[in-house]
Structure 1
Amino acid sequence: MESTIVRDRIFLSSPHMSDEGYEMQYIKEAFDTNWIAPLGENVNGFEKELAANVGSKAAAALSSGTAAIHLALKAAGVGEGDVVFCPTLTFSATANPIIYQNATPVFIDSDYETWNLCPNALEDAFEKYPQVKAVIVVHLYGLSADMDKIMQICKKHNVTVIEDAAESLGTYYKGKHTGTFGDYGIFSFNGNKIITTSGGGMLISDNEERIEKVRFWATQSRDQARHYQHSELGFNYRMSNIVAGIGRGQLKVLKQRVEKKRYIYNFYKRELGNLDGIEFMPSNDWNEPNYWLSSIILTGKIRPIDIMDALEKENIESRPVWKPMHMQPFFEKYDFVGTDVSEQLFKNGVCLPSDTKMSDCDLERVVKTIKGLW
């Protein structure tokens, strides 16, 4: 009887704790001092250390990146009836908070040069909707959007800019961290991100007064009173002291994680770049990506489903590129400005496994499986 060998699963991007055990040191401190929740030194420390790392004046540690976008919109004064521009090629967590605020999203197309918000489409959107409250910019898969062009357009229209840098911690645009160009920046520490706290997010800004207000909203808007008093709508959005301890430890290995992600990308490009019909995600002189997910576009007879099915048979995880928001059942009723760039990226794109725990043997296994289709 023929036996089937089940090979170890290769993940797209899974949590990777430090070999040095930095995370446990901070967690142990929280346990030893009984500062488990709601806040504590780890929360304060994580906010200060993350802000210092990226070069921002203030940060608020929150329960998720989605919560950070939500409170950034609230801090920007976005409310019922307001229009918010949002890239269509992104995860729904970018767009959902616009609806939380009873505002109206208008989705903007990508360009092939960055896979991110297209400046030309953004200009067209402003002509169609001159009264816009905020613009959300996403740095997809660790690739920086063209921030000089985007910020020039947004400043001309005097609009608040929120950077969704959930996937781009450790990415630089012209030597400056993504997330620090706009009025607000957000990061995610979900389990699949380049560093993780198991779940959590951070809102950063140079506007310290607004960040202080965000912390207030995120702790149920509890007024300073002996009794429980609430003069504003509040949210249960603060990060716990345990989760923040994991984040402090992870922040110490961020540089190592970026280096490994870059190694993975270069391995794939070296081994697969000469195959007909494969193009890698764009690189620009001004962009230093963290290469969170190494992604490709297929232009020949081999289709994304062929690669994903072949990898899955070998117990290897891969994913399509994000399905654009304007093509989603919930969001398709909202306006879209652009052509078909985002749709083509979705139709032809594949995200390859980019787990920082992958060995060279794992990478060779992925490459061998893909090459077998040619």
Structure 2
Amino acid sequence: MSASSNNRIYLSPPHMGGTEQDFVKQAFDSNFIAPLGPQVNGFEEDFSKLSGLAHCAALSSGTAALHLALRILDVQPNDVVLASSLTFIGSVSPVKFLGAEPCFIDADYKSWNMDPDLLAEAVDYYISIGKKPKAVIPTDLYGQCADYDRILEILEPHGIPLIVDAAESVGATYKGEHAGKRALMAAYSFNGNKIITTSGGGLLASDNEEYIDRARWLSQQAKEPLPYYEHNELGYNYRMSNVVAAIGRGQLEVIQDRVTRKREIFDYYKNELEGCAGISFMPEAEYGKCNRWLTVILIDEDTFGADPEQIRLRLEDENIESRPVWKPMHMQPLFKDCKSFGGKVSEDLFKRGLCLPCGTAMTQVDLDRAVEAIKKCGKL
């Protein structure tokens, strides 16, 4: 394939490892095609081994996992939940599902994750007005863990639970432990663009067996253990299917390879582009190992000679997909009436950031095409 090839380069497409079809065949051969079955059980056990979290419930999405986590904590209308502003809406929409009040915390430049100092300010504020937050949900942005220990130092004296949105950080580590391990509960995503995928799906994990048992029960319509259908409280149709879980089992076998390749791609972009005046990269916090789910650059328009949108459009002209950094939640019209602490950092990252294509099956030709297109946008 020549460097002039115009095949579509996607941002972060699925990449099969080779054994997924073997697990799917097992599901078909056993006729467990409907939700639940041996592959779901196996996927939960496999993920527990990877994450170090003792109990896992495989679900339909990461959003469903966060919704159930908040239900388990009995979040009620008008309760306050503190969350990262720089994130995908699925991280915070479950707060609204329950009629609660999200409050958004800005990022810091060190990690691009929730700023612990602003979190402390928010916690002190809400306690001072007699409205202790019901939970805190930091997002592990683009595969980098939030500073869990610093966050827990703020929350534990007040008994405020930590739920980690680890949707983007499967395979990442914090101080040698898997992403989400130090939380009361952690939510993961296996959507089609994630570092590993089940085509669509998620998972809630915890060391608290009672929480995960309740998550499973709520995810199956909260049906009472009777021969007929009886329901004393509201449940959901959130369980992962046996076939989808089978794909996930094959994907989990290659997670370390995927992290390695994502980091190699990040390093290649950095080596090729960091010498361009006006381009810098998302940092890696000293406390962990980012999975580099997405490679993200910051562009100084005046220095480089083009802004992120101009670069995105140039890449699109070359049939290469890229994407702006998440638009902060405090800037979203849906949340215009919600309180926030800080905001300038995430606004700046949104304004200057661009996510580059980094699928783990990218070839060297693909990478060179993307780098060349970006360089063409800069000053000569």
Q: TM-score, normalised by structure 1?
A: 0.97
1:232 equivalent in structure 2: 233
1:323-356 C-alpha deviation (Å, 9 max, x unpaired): 0001111111111111411100000100011111
Quick check: 2:330–2:343 contact (8 Å CA) kept in 1?
Answer: no
1:3-47 C-alpha deviation (Å, 9 max, x unpaired): xx87100000011111xx311111111111111012100000101
1:223 equivalent in structure 2: 224
- Which of 313, 316, 320 aligns to 2:317? It is 313
SS in 1 for 2:326: coil
2:29 equivalent in structure 1: 32
1:90 equivalent in structure 2: 87
SS in 2 for 1:111: coil
Deviation at 1:157, TM superposition (A): 2.0
1:15 equivalent in structure 2: 14
SS in 2 for 1:330: helix
Letter in 2 for 1:355: G
1:177 equivalent in structure 2: 178
1:326 equivalent in structure 2: 330
SS in 1 for 2:92: helix
Identity of aligned residues (%): 50
Deviation at 1:234, TM superposition (A): 1.0
Q: Please give the alpha-carbon distance, in whole angstroms, between the structure 2 residues aligned to 1:277 and 1:178.
A: 32
Deviation at 1:124, TM superposition (A): 1.0
Q: Please give the alpha-carbon distance, in whole angstroms, between the structure 2 residues aligned to 1:163 and 1:90.
A: 12
1:221-370 correspondence to structure 2 within 5 Å: 221-301=222-302, 302-370=306-374
Q: Please give the alpha-carbon distance, in whole angstroms, between the structure 1 residues aligned to 2:212 and 2:6.
A: 47
Quick check: 2:105–2:343 contact (8 Å CA) kept in 1?
Answer: no
Letter in 1 for 2:115: C
Determine if the alignment matches structure 1 residue 128 to structure 2 residue 125.
Answer: yes
2:59 equivalent in structure 1: 62
Q: Please give the alpha-carbon distance, in whole angstroms, between the structure 1 residues aligned to 2:221 and 2:343.
A: 42
1:80 equivalent in structure 2: 77
Quick check: 1:86–1:108 contact (8 Å CA) kept in 2?
Answer: yes
Quick check: 1:276–1:300 contact (8 Å CA) kept in 2?
Answer: no
SS in 1 for 2:183: coil
SS in 2 for 1:113: coil
Determine if the alignment matches structure 1 residue 107 to structure 2 residue 108.
Answer: no
Q: Please give the alpha-carbon distance, in whole angstroms, between the structure 2 residues aligned to 1:27 and 1:300.
A: 48
Deviation at 1:284, TM superposition (A): 2.5
More displaced stretch, 155-164 vs 187-196: 155-164
Letter in 2 for 1:325: M
Quick check: 1:43–1:239 contact (8 Å CA) kept in 2?
Answer: yes
1:202-244 C-alpha deviation (Å, 9 max, x unpaired): 0000000110011001001111111111112110000000000
Unaligned runs of 5+ in 2: none
Letter in 1 for 2:126: Y
Quick check: 1:63–1:239 contact (8 Å CA) kept in 2?
Answer: yes
Deviation at 1:196, TM superposition (A): 0.4
Deviation at 1:127, TM superposition (A): 1.8
SS in 1 for 2:246: helix
Letter in 2 for 1:10: I
Letter in 2 for 1:53: L
Q: TM-score, normalised by structure 2?
A: 0.95
Q: Please give the alpha-carbon distance, in whole angstroms, between the structure 1 residues aligned to 2:250 and 2:143.
A: 21
Deviation at 1:156, TM superposition (A): 2.0
More displaced stretch, 142-151 vs 68-77: 142-151
Letter in 2 for 1:50: F
SS in 2 for 1:190: coil
Q: Please give the alpha-carbon distance, in whole angstroms, between the structure 1 residues aligned to 2:238 and 2:118.
A: 34
Quick check: 2:56–2:204 contact (8 Å CA) kept in 1?
Answer: yes
Instruction: Give 4+ residue runs of structure 1 displaced > 4 Å after superposition.
Output: none
1:97-140 C-alpha deviation (Å, 9 max, x unpaired): 00111110001100000100001110111122121100001100
Q: Please give the alpha-carbon distance, in whole angstroms, between the structure 2 residues aligned to 1:52 and 1:324.
A: 34
Q: Please give the alpha-carbon distance, in whole angstroms, between the structure 2 residues aligned to 1:307 and 1:205.
A: 41
Q: Please give the alpha-carbon distance, in whole angstroms, between the structure 1 residues aligned to 2:136 and 2:228.
A: 39
SS in 1 for 2:291: coil
